[in-house]
Structure 1
Amino acid sequence: MAAKRDTSSGSFTSAMALSEMGLNGVPECYILPQPQRPAINQRPHCPTIALPVIDLSLLENPSLRPKVIEQVLEACKELGVFQVINHGIQISFTDDALDVAEEFFNCQMRKRCVLLLLMFENLFSIGETLSNITLIQSQLGSTCGHQNHQVTRRKWGNYAKVAHILHKKLMEVVLESLGLRPDYLQKDIEEGSQVMAVNCYPACPEPNLALGLPPHSDYGSLTIILQNQQGLEIKDSNGEWQSVSFIKEALVVQLGDQLEVLSNGRYKSVIHRAILNSEKRRLSIASLHSLAIDRKVIPAPELVDEQHPLSYKEGSFGDFLHFIQDNDILEGRYIDTLKKNPQTGSTKETADQMHENVISHSSG
């Protein structure tokens, strides 16, 4: 169940906090309207999609690399998501990241908040989410253990670094599959942003009434997902929900809205959601990557022609943040506001105007 704002107090109540209360049912504020509920009661018959599983180690073999590029092309064109194996991230890094996530969510809510302050006290300022929590200075050295927060920060940090390296490799492959240079937008990718979202979806007594994460697409370029069990679902081209199979040691790679725009619609960002189960909690660590917050993303001029008219306006991650601040993301996606009617305007003229802007950012 996703975090829910208590409008009467201005605070947030998380699903983990509710789980710690030992509730036997789903609070009314979490219950979804009938059409939005997952068909958990039909789960044995719910299709589990066989995502393409791509062996990245084959990229090092010149004779096999074209096959991998073709696999990526088909996966991006048909689904917008695939799994990767032999991705170069040592299992010790993924195990450590999940282990400390398990330890973190085993702490009580108050202790978790203090632990977050300890881990990231030099990285961000505290906003309204934690404004209702009174922190006692003497607790900072003892809550969950001062040494624990250093270990957690180090292990999550180690995973974040290798995920960043993997993202750069994946972007090269995806861009090459589009017929662009592997180093296209290299500088922008290097200077882009990375957000690590560590999620815990607790066991839910009535998983057919709620969702762990509502349907959405990620705005960035790629999202790399590490998880400890099945629970991710994607919407296929027919608008049907498909369960993503869990493969140990594999990572799920999802295309974001920025790549849909950059590809001029050749590739589609994937709409996905997280379901719940009644038996055990699920952990996932999503590494979300995007270009710099103010970098305007536009279709690559090389991908705009008479058969593929200009289909998107420019947009940035910053524009996306403003959108979700002012709009209910359940009622519409930001990328839909960027789509334009290809029959209007002079496509070639617009593409030529874009060329100089893009080329200045595509070298590096």
Structure 2
Amino acid sequence: MEVERVQSIASIAKITDTIPIEYVRSEKEQPCTTTVVGKDLEVPVIDFGSSDEKGLVKAIAEASQDWGLFQIVNHDIPTDVIKKLQEVGKQFFELPPEEKEKYAKPEGSTSVEGYGTKLQKEIEGKKGWVDHIFHKIWPPLYINYRFWPQNPPSYRAANEEYAKCLHEVVNKLMGYLGKGLGLEEGELKTSVGGDDLVYLLKINYYPPCPRPDLALGVVAHTDMCALTILVPNEVQGLQVCRDERWYDVKYIPNALIIHIGDQLEIVSNGKYKAVLHRSTVTKDKTRMSWPVFLEPPSDFAVGPHPMLVSDENQAKFKTKKYSDYVYCKLNKIPQ
């Protein structure tokens, strides 16, 4: 069965200057009525290369508690490595439709891997103005190259180089986040899967939209994973909810945007907060983003860390296999 992609809908919409009704969000979601205009949110920006580890741990812990979101600079991933990752992703989405469809998610697949459009159960039949491709990039044993585009030819090399560099950032970040909770080195990472932690890359492609005031790329959500590390392009689109209003997050060249996900909120017993965010679209420019979701293995059970539970601070979450958590969240089943 042929699936209609947003990229092709956008081509028609550009001519008609309208969008199909299923992409028009309800009034309480429309960017035109819910965005605080002209004020970028100054989320914490943290110098990841600082030699003051104590100060770094404190800054990361405070940002994770108060915001659930922060940006890191001086993270040691070379600019050209990120640039290559972005270039090959952009080149893939510029391929003819039949070439991209070679990597489409198999019909009936329970995995998210592959090229696609729909991701989760759609509320009131509303759709997001976005196409995407998912595939795992780490650990090497978990990679299924069936979903890695062979065109452009440098796609694999660019993604493998980025994954290798990112692995170093993740280990440091998990260490700092754990210390911010008072845990020993390595304990936090172990509590969400350890060396089996899965790095799932998603490339989001948001084509120009004639009515960006009415549509959303991705609806408001928190990430299901433990942690998200996101590379954006220069086109504004990430918004964060603060005091029940939506704010644009300021773009900083070469920064990595870090999102606390549901599993770290669970492990921290609510001390760290998963950030509520969404994506908007623009009228004349294509926005893209490259989030990597750090996920526990599907059969791995995640719950509040025993060191963070006491008689005075009871467990706020159930311990649950990650696959069960994902199923409930995607199908809007209360956890």
TM-score (norm 2): 0.81
- Contact map agreement 1:189 1:290 (CA 8 A) in 2: no
Alignment pair present for 1:227 and 2:209: no
Pairs aligned (count): 294
- Contact map agreement 2:60 2:177 (CA 8 A) in 1: yes
Distance 1:268 1:41 in 2: 22
Choose the corresponding residue for 2:7, options 16, 20, 37: 16
CA RMSD of aligned residues (A): 2.4
Could you say which residue in structure 1 is the equivalent of 2:171?
Answer: 168
- Within a 5 Å distance, the mapping from 1:56-67 to structure 2 comes to 56-58=48-50, 61=51, 64-67=52-55
Name the one with the larger helix percent: 1
- Contact map agreement 2:203 2:289 (CA 8 A) in 1: yes
Distance 1:39 1:147 in 2: 40
Unaligned 5+ runs, structure 2: 116-148
Name the one with the larger strand percent: 2
- Within a 5 Å distance, the mapping from 1:121-136 to structure 2 comes to 126-128=106-108
SS at match of 1:72: helix
Distance 2:321 2:244 in 1: 27
- In structure 2, relative to structure 1, the CA distance for the partners of 1:191 and 1:34 (3 Å cut) is same
Once the two structures are TM-superposed, the CA of residue 11 in structure 1 deviates from its matched residue by 4.9
Alignment pair present for 1:271 and 2:264: no
- Within a 5 Å distance, the mapping from 1:190-205 to structure 2 comes to 190-205=195-210
- Contact map agreement 2:175 2:188 (CA 8 A) in 1: no
- Contact map agreement 1:167 1:222 (CA 8 A) in 2: no
- In structure 2, relative to structure 1, the CA distance for the partners of 1:156 and 1:20 (3 Å cut) is farther
Could you say which residue in structure 1 is the equivalent of 2:144?
Answer: none
- Contact map agreement 1:256 1:269 (CA 8 A) in 2: yes
Once the two structures are TM-superposed, the CA of residue 35 in structure 1 deviates from its matched residue by 1.1
- Within a 5 Å distance, the mapping from 1:283-298 to structure 2 comes to 283-298=288-303
Tell me the amino acid that sits aligned with residue 154 of structure 2. V
Tell me the amino acid that sits aligned with residue 231 of structure 1. G
The structure 1 segments of at least 4 consecutive aligned residues displaced by more than 4 Å after TM superposition are 40-43, 128-131
Tell me the amino acid that sits aligned with residue 30 of structure 1. Y
Tell me the amino acid that sits aligned with residue 27 of structure 1. P
- Within a 5 Å distance, the mapping from 1:180-219 to structure 2 comes to 180-187=183-190, 188-219=193-224
- Contact map agreement 1:195 1:289 (CA 8 A) in 2: yes
Deviations 1:154-202 (CA, angstroms, capped at 9, x unpaired): 2123212322332222111111111111210545221111110001111
- In structure 2, relative to structure 1, the CA distance for the partners of 1:126 and 1:209 (3 Å cut) is same
Choose the corresponding residue for 2:29, options 36, 56, 60: 36
SS at match of 2:294: strand
Percent of matched pairs sharing the same residue: 28
- Contact map agreement 2:36 2:245 (CA 8 A) in 1: no
Once the two structures are TM-superposed, the CA of residue 321 in structure 1 deviates from its matched residue by 2.9
Could you say which residue in structure 1 is the equivalent of 2:58?
Answer: 70
Distance 1:259 1:195 in 2: 16
